[in-house]
């Protein structure tokens, strides 16, 4: 019985170690063109990246570069009567 318990303990500790260490290696990117060191690769240059939409300008913080301003109060008032129809 103590051997089974020891074996399960080893298995649980091994799984925990693997899970904890899996996030400690090199920085990974979902797409190659997200890595700033690889922006100059042919697959990250137009027109090639347009087909797959992996151009760096699409992948690296597009929300920060293409900021949409919130509607002004005057625009909200103008839209309100149209919404009730």
Average pLDDT value for the chain: 76
Please report, for residues 14, 28, 52, the alpha-carbon distance to residue 18 in angstroms, rounded to integers and kept in the order given: 6, 17, 34
Tell me if 35 sits within 8 A of 28, measured CB to CB.
no
Q: Check: pTM over 0.75? Answer yes or no.
A: no
43 against 21, higher pLDDT: 43
Non-local (6+) Cβ contacts of 38 within 8 A are: 32, 44
Summarised one tens digit per residue, pLDDT across range 24-50 is 666 678 888 888 888 899 998 888 888
Cα 13 from Cα 5, distance rounded (Å): 12
């Amino acid at each position: 019985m103590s051997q089974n318990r020891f074996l399960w303990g080893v298995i649980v500790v091994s799984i925990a170690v693997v899970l904890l260490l899996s996030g400690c290696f090199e920085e990974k990117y979902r797409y190659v063109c997200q890595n700033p060191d690889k922006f100059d690769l042919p697959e990250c240059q137009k027109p090639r990246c347009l087909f797959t939409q992996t151009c760096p300008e699409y992948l690296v913080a597009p929300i920060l570069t293409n900021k949409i301003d919130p509607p002004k109060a005057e625009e909200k008032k103008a839209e309100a009567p149209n919404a009730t129809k």
